[in-house]
Amino acid sequence: MKSKRGFIVKLFIFMIVLVLLIIVVYVGYLFLSTTNKDVGKGLENPMKKVINKEKVRVNGSISNPLVNDSIIYNETKVIEEGIVNFNEDYINYLLVAIGVGNLHSAVGFGNPVIEFSIDSDSWGSEMAEGILNTQGGTIEEEDLRIFISKEEAVKALISSDAKQFMKDSVNNGGTRIEMVAGKPTLFAKGYLAMYKEITGKELED
């Protein structure tokens, strides 16, 4: 009888230990699973697109398509991947950075139209009712052209202040702005204010 009671006690203790072991393994699994998810978030591909629209409203907020506060990245790698993945979101962000919010349609002159020449690629952007419509390829009857390399454009996006970066880029020759339309058209659509904001100078005749 005593032997049987001892066996039952041992079995009971064994069951308790087994249950505790299962609980410890389960808790450990949950902890490791959560940790791995958090690491994955921290190393999330910095090239992930935050926005995916052809049209962007310039008087609203616009997300940087390369960087957000939660991403810790290697700058060289981001630049390399940014050059490969260059798209219309980059153009829209740069346009806002250089002051496209100053532009507007004008009766008799039409909508603001800008062409980007980026390395061997061309991008066209037209603004109508405060909305940017940017697409790859050349565009007709552009008001001005902006010449910039993909590398310079990506550096602007990952800088702490894209607007200031673009100002410096224009002033040091990294970016070139060529006015195509006549001064009356540029004035009517707001380009003169945009030009002064980005260069700090009045547009010369």
Task: Give the amino acid at 79.
Answer: I
**SS3 state at 122:** strand
Q: What is the DSSP string of 56-91?
A: EETTS----SS--TT----HHHHHHHHHHT--HHHH
**Are residues 113 and 84 in contact, defined by beta-carbon separation less than 8 angstroms?**
no
Count of C-beta atoms within a 10 Å radius of residue 181:
19
What gap in Å lies between CA 157 and CA 62, rounded to an integer? Answer: 12
Domain boundaries, the chain: 1-43, 55-199
Q: Give the number of residues written for the chain.
A: 205
pLDDT score, position 57:
55
3-class state of residue 134 by DSSP: strand
Q: In what order do the strands lie in the sheet with 121-128?
A: 55-57, 131-136, 121-128, 113-118, 144-148, 175-179
Determine the pLDDT at residue 126: 92
Specify the amino acid at residue 123.
W
Q: Which residues have a Cβ under 8 Å from the Cβ of 76 and sit 6 or more positions away?
A: none
Q: What is the pLDDT of residue 175?
A: 94
pLDDT tens digits, the chain, 205 residues: what are they?
545 566 666 767 777 877 777 776 665 554 444 333 333 333 232 333 333 334 455 555 566 776 644 445 577 888 888 888 888 888 988 898 888 888 999 889 999 999 999 998 899 999 988 888 898 888 888 999 999 999 999 999 888 888 899 999 999 999 999 999 999 999 999 999 888 888 888 877 6
pLDDT score, position 51: 32
pLDDT of residue 36: 35
Match domain 55-199 to its CATH number in 3.30.750, 3.30.450, 3.40.50, 3.30.1050: 3.30.1050
